[in-house]
């Protein structure tokens, strides 16, 4: 159970980082446009 919870937390963190990077990319892309 603890292992599964840790895996879920890691997945959530990765998704958050991915979303943040995507938002940054879109923001810069729009600025250039």
- Give the pLDDT of residue 22: 92
- Give the pLDDT of residue 24: 92
The pLDDT tens digits of the residues spanning 1-33 come to 555 665 667 777 777 888 999 999 999 888 765
- Give the pLDDT of residue 30: 83
Q: How far apart are CA 1 and CA 33, in angstroms?
A: 48
- Give the pLDDT of residue 26: 92
Tokens of 30: 């729009």
Output the CA angle 17-1-8, nearest 5 degrees.
10
Predicted TM-score (pTM) of this structure: 0.49
**E strands along 1-33, which residues?**
none
**Residue for token digits 């943040």?**
20
């Amino acid at each position: 159970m603890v292992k599964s919870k840790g895996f879920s937390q890691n997945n959530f963190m990765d998704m958050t980082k991915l979303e943040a990077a995507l938002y940054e990319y879109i923001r810069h892309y729009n600025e250039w446009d």
